[in-house]
Structure 1
């Protein structure tokens, strides 16, 4: 059921993505970034539909992703690219407004939301998304900002082919897309979790059983009550917070929990998604902090 739900969300987001391209961006020759933007350029300059170009240009990138990111991720990505391409073939290219600026803003928001959902549920739209995810595995940086930097090349290309006014609209659109992606895809955000509880062994066991991460255990004492307590410390991703919070609450509703955003983590810090104990497919596990 989890796999089915994940595929359904990717399917829906991919159709929304194709809708945003054909209704908001392409009618004004406002491009998406990266490989999708190049596919749009080729689609506008040749008789071949942009959806077909999208598949052709993504083939080599998806092969690299297959080797580096795993079969499940690339399978979801191929599924997303196929659904987006097919939806672009059947959704008519029509203008909902004559204002190119409005189209770039709303198109950027819709594209960013759709891409963010697809990436959050362990897929991608191919192209620079795959390259960006490969780079974020090496260093924790915002995916949206990274992809925006990579996509800037398309802006300059579109400026030479079409007009610099449209290039600026494209820049605005992909910038907004990057902002929205970073609001949804928060894998790069790490949180420091400290739990003070009198059920230390139970909480520790649940964390170790459900997450691939280490936990530091410190014996503590309440200053006022003089009660013996256990202090547990670990680092989690932003995705995992929704899973960890009820886990702790179910064991010890009275536990004191402190959560703060961590600027940087050094050491043996697992960034890949290949090893998962948690039932949440989008969780990014790490090793001991």
Structure 2
């Protein structure tokens, strides 16, 4: 329920940023939402309706190929953003495009950051990049940057190059705020020392799409046998993993350390 509430609040903030700051000044956001804003400005269609229609096929594809809970949260976010864009009136809170681009980008980043922290996404290019990265070993950051570059160029050709520059400012501000709230690229190594190795292992394997290494150890003071489990997770999975460990063994000792780089097979979509 906490994740659901965070996603709804974050998605509502995105709708506020779009309709109060970005759309009134023809400033686009990043991703498919930016394309939805563009269509909403040049056609009679509502931006919220376009946003939902553009994301619908990707959500169906993602549901089949990516994590089910991740896509369920993403569907919730897309629906909440689309509804917010539909019900919130388009009212410019500032007459200055640059200020609107900055504040719109910051509020958008804060909203999307809340969605990411709740283990979801706002849909669009995130799903495309994850699907492509699964098939080919492309870096997600480069894919997203390239796709957002298309949005900026479209803004320049369709509206004006001032609008394109303002769009770049908004996208930059959004990215910086998202990085402050949640960095999906951060990996963590967990070393778990427990007397209930099988229970912890089964809990992790049943609920976490990650590899787990199991070793035998011995307590230096007690001389009792202990299981040592090592796994690498994405930062946003930490809360869920700690709950899993607590459920299996409330007395488990867990050392959590930042991981600079991972080589080999590491599932990126979870």
Question: When the two structures are superposed, what TM-score results if normalisation uses the length of structure 2?
Answer: 0.79
Task: Identify the structure with bigger relative contact order (alpha carbons < 8 Å, sequence gap 6+).
Answer: 2
The answer on 1:262 being equivalent to 2:260 is: yes
- The alignment of Structure 1 onto Structure 2 pairs a total of residues equal to 260
Question: Within the alignment, does 1:155 sit opposite 2:142 as a pair?
Answer: no
**127-136 vs 102-111, greater mean Cα deviation:** 127-136
Residue aligned with 1:179, SS: helix
Q: How does 1:2-13 map to 2 (within 5 A)?
A: 2=1, 5-13=2-10
- Pairing of 1:244-283 with structure 2 (within 5 A): 247=245, 250-251=250-251, 257=255, 259-267=257-265, 269-272=266-269
CA deviation after TM superposition for structure 1 residue 70, in Å = 5.5
Task: Structure 2: give runs of 5+ residues left out of the alignment.
Answer: 206-210
Among candidates 46, 51, 65, match of residue 48 of structure 2: 51
Q: Distance in 2 between matches of 1:211 and 1:258?
A: 15
Separation in structure 1 between the aligned mates of residue 27 and residue 33 of structure 2, nearest angstrom: 12
Matches within 5 A, 1:1-289: 2=1, 5-69=2-66, 72-137=69-134, 141=139, 146-194=143-191, 200-202=194-196, 204-212=197-205, 213-217=211-215, 219=217, 232-242=229-239, 247=245, 250-251=250-251, 257=255, 259-267=257-265, 269-272=266-269, 284=270
Give the SS at the match of 2:230.
strand
On the 8 A contact 2:46/2:86 being kept in 1, the answer is yes
User: Per-residue deviation at 1:98?
Assistant: 2.4
Determine helix, strand or coil for the equivalent of 1:251.
coil
Given that residues 191 and 260 in structure 1 are in contact (C-alpha distance below 8 angstroms), is that contact kept between their aligned partners in structure 2? yes
Moved more, 74-83 or 153-162: 74-83
Report what 1:279 is aligned to.
none
CA distance in 2: counterparts of 1:40 and 1:18, whole angstroms: 11
CA shift, 1:8, in A, is 2.8
2:130–2:140 Cα contact (<8 Å) kept = no
RMSD (Å) for aligned C-alpha atoms: 3.2
Deviation at 1:72, TM superposition (A): 4.7
Native 8 Å contact 1:34 1:153 kept in 2: no
Contact 2:204 2:241 in 1 (8 A): no
Structure 1, unpaired ranges of 5+ = 273-283, 285-289
Q: Which residue of 1 aligns with 2:208?
A: none
Larger mean CA deviation between 18-27 and 76-85 belongs to: 76-85
Decide whether aligned partners of structure 1 residues 234 and 30 sit closer, same or farther in structure 2, where only a CA change above 3 A counts.
same
Contact 2:186 2:259 in 1 (8 A): yes
Q: Using the TM superposition, give the Cα deviation of residue 185 of structure 1 relative to its aligned residue in structure 2, in angstroms.
A: 4.3
Secondary structure in structure 2 of the residue aligned to 1:65: helix
- Partner SS for 2:165: helix
- The CA distance in 2 between the partners of 1:114 and 1:93, in whole Å, is 18
